[in-house]
Structure 1
Amino acid sequence: MTTERVENLALVAHAAGDVRIEDVPLNPLAADEAVIRISYGGICGSDLHYWKHGAAGESVLREPMVLGHEIVGIVECAAADGSGPVVGTPVTVHPARSSATAVRFPSERPNLSPTVTYLGSAAHLPHTAGAFAARVAFPTAMLHVLPTNLPLRTSVLIEPTSVAWHAVSRAGAIGGKRVLVVGSGPIGALAVAVLKRAGAGEIVAVDVFDKPLEIAHALGADVVLKAGDVDAIAAVDADIAIESSGNHRGLASAIAGTTRGGRVVMVGLLPSGDQPVPISLAITRELELIGSFRFHREIDDVIRALADGSLTVDSVITHEFPLADALEALVVAADASQSGKVVLAF
């Protein structure tokens, strides 16, 4: 790679309603860092929150930050210390990095560390820059080599699929069981695909809009229901529910639609603070309410499943925009009635 300065356009959030395409520099590389030329980036709900509200939950923008953590690309400059893949290798990136902390959490679950940083996150200051840029430098420990038979456009779904895979794994044994998925946006739809692969007996998907339900059906949902059909949802009597709407009404539906002694996995991130949900029903039915947050090693399982064809997820992608049209892409991604996963092409 030459030392001559090359333009590096990126999508940068400055404040609520203020997202710009700007030229950002590459910092001097550490010995274990490789430069990745980004091919595709998937727009996540957190990116939309930073754009619309200047915050994602309790993570508030306090300085400009490059967005994006769902990315795939090609190694353009290999790490100087010889670690990691060689130039020309297709890779995806695990967005999380953990560091030492005195706070207790299971050592085998670093996704629960309070000091973990995540690409494109304002949880810490300075913020952790994201990867919606033409070129980004990453420690090689964050890189995962992609099989050559796996298209890069499909591979941009590896990160959100890993989130869905982790949620399904938190549900326990799936084979032959009836599963209710509440919220059929990208994570919910991907959960449907993972559940199908895991051998679920019946999958019922719920959403407010028709478009997400079409996608969920294409990925393996046997039955689709509108969120307003509360009686039909309550009658599902699911062994397991995956709540991926991130809305207290969705969680209430998941609780209502789960059989006695069943399990509800909560992967949709609800707003901070108290939530009005029918906990008494969860108590009297002895439901198990299980949290699910991000993922860890599941990324390797997802890569293998996509490569061997046992997991199919392409239907989740509904729109593709060049970086120059990123603002339009954000608008489309924010409209769940017309879009699933919206990707940026770099």
Structure 2
Amino acid sequence: MAAHPAKPLALTLGEPAGIGPDITIAAWLRRRELNLPAFYLLGDEAAIARRAKVLGADIRITSSSAGEADAVFAEALPVVATGAHATAGPGSPDASSAPAALASIRQAVADVREGRASAVVTNPIAKSVLYRAGFRHPGHTEFLAELAAVDGRVPQPVMMLWSPRLAVVPVTIHVSLREALAQLTSELIVSTVRIVAAGLKSRFGIATPRIAISGLNPHAGEDGSLGDEEQTVIAPALETLRNDGIDARGPLPADTMFHEAARNLYDCAVCMYHDQALIPIKTVAFDDAVNVTLGLPFIRTSPDHGTAFDIAGTGKANPASLIAALRLASRMAAATSE
């Protein structure tokens, strides 16, 4: 039986009109069967009760505080109020959606930073809904980084997609391929891999992480005949990383990095752009991959999927990725406390 951290996990509401409430309810209903770590939902108790009724879920929901959540989790889903009410129905975000989602994230970060929770687990948000309400961040990760700032210094967040079979990190993330090429520098590769190496040590308990670094071009450039970024950008970064004592391997051809035998040779693959990293992991671990943010002063995991408005409230949402995110957050919190 897996050991769980002393403090519960803070689970955010996400977009209230999406499947976040559905998968939260589904995960809690399987808490005993799967020995899930205790968690509490930051949101609107009435909204969750309405969704449970729509789903026909036999669930007890109780108003709670973070400190009470662990004691009540076995018998009821603890909901800690944020003060922001959510009125949106399944699949139909409304004016309450953005304030409710953002209040939940802010309170979750405050709870973990002030010692009331062991980690933050975030349900999916709808960026388009937030943008219409004036949200100015590219996404969840950047907002969390701003909330993590100390004395005005915002940490560099690094997105890892993790599963038991594969962990990947893209150096450039949600930008066009043209912009990714413009952003890619030796310095960005070095800072990203340093954060990955530190995170694998402190959060995953891997004493000497093995990190595979992809090339950018087909066949890792074929000695410059298919592009010289491997020689001019990636190789200098690798030299710096190795001088740091980091086991960084590459640049490796991306088309031969992800078969089963190759995956056994490293703990994480760092790739140069979004699809180079995410296509492999979504192929081998579509249902149970977890989004992890490294580089923050707290643990954050999230399901690796969106709000799925089209199936919200239907009972069709698969809670597997949220369950994996809860378990991984618990494991990381336990490793950090050792």
Same fold by TM-score greater than 0.5 = no
Which one has the bigger helix percentage?
Answer: 2
Which one has the bigger strand percentage?
Answer: 1
Work out which structure has the larger RCO, using CA pairs closer than 8 Å and 6 or more positions apart in sequence.
2
TM-score norm. by structure 1 comes to 0.29
